[in-house]
Amino acid sequence: MDFYSKIVKTIKSSIFTDEDLKLIFCDKNLSQIHNSLSYYLKKQKIIKYKRGVYSLSESHLPFSELVLAAKLYGPSYISFESALSFHGLIPEAVYEFTSACFQSKKKIFKTEAGNFSYSHSPIEPFLLEVEEVDGVLIAAPIRALFDTVYKRKINYKFLENLESDLRIDLEELEDVVIKYSASEIIELGEKYKKQTTRSLSDILVRSFK
């Protein structure tokens, strides 16, 4: 079985990495793996998104931009506008895939599959209010909202400002907020150590508690 056929038969996800290739071709050395990989990259049978992250140009497996986001840079999780859209809090589709990362330096990857950006989220533990959905880490709606306000650096004073700026669905937002106590909302806002997130806590508690 040739290199390409073995990948097609073995991989479980449309996105694969150098580490996956080492496991698939454990009988080959790194030079042999890279030589074969280069051959199929030139033939455009394999797509390279960055060094060490690839997909097949044609695959029976479903392609997921969210899985690709997780593979491109980590530790990270889907957040900000992408997570708000995923959870139905904002109406429009998001054309840049946005993730939160542990590192403080922002990262952007422009690929054939779209643009992927990574911005810092400062709170500890890093994965607080982060869920696993189909193998991908995604911020719960409340974390995505706080991450977004932290990133935007806007000090919202009223719910109407938040609604108009982010196009937040207020009914969906209320369904999210009522799952938490007022003290939990306030505590989450404090964790960012920013007035913007403290103000967001105040708005949510005044509006829905």
Indicate the residue type of 104. Answer: S
Q: Return residue ranges of the chain for CATH 1.10.10.
A: 3-63
For the 3-63 domain, the top CATH level (class) is mainly alpha
| Distance of alpha carbon 98 from alpha carbon 85, whole angstroms | 11
Say whether the peptide bond before residue 62 is cis (omega within 30 degrees of 0).
no
pTM of the model: 0.92
Residue 13 has pLDDT above 90, yes or no: no
Q: What is the pLDDT of residues 118-138, one digit of tens each?
A: 999 999 999 999 999 988 999
164 vs 13: CA distance, rounded Å: 39
Binned at pLDDT 50, 70 and 90, residue 7 comes out as: very high
Q: How far apart are CA 136 and CA 83, in angstroms?
A: 11
pLDDT at res. 185: 98
Q: Print the SS3 string covering the chain.
A: CCHHHHHHHHCCCCEEEHHHHHHHCCCCCHHHHHHHHHHHHHCCCEEEEECCEEEECCCCCCCCHHHHHHHHCCCEEECHHHHHHHCCCCCCCCCEEEEEECCCCCEEEEECCEEEEEEECCCCCCCCCEEEECCEEEECHHHHHHHHHHHHCCCCCCHHHHHHHHCCCHHHHHHHHCCCCHHHHHHHHHHCCCHHHHHHHHHHHHHHC
State pLDDT tens for residues 77-122. Answer: 999 999 999 999 998 777 899 999 999 989 999 999 999 999 999 9
Residues 6 or more apart in contact with residue 4 via CB below 8 angstroms: 40, 45, 46
For 30-85, what is each residue's pLDDT tens digit?
A: 999 999 999 999 999 999 999 999 999 998 889 999 999 999 999 999 999 999 99
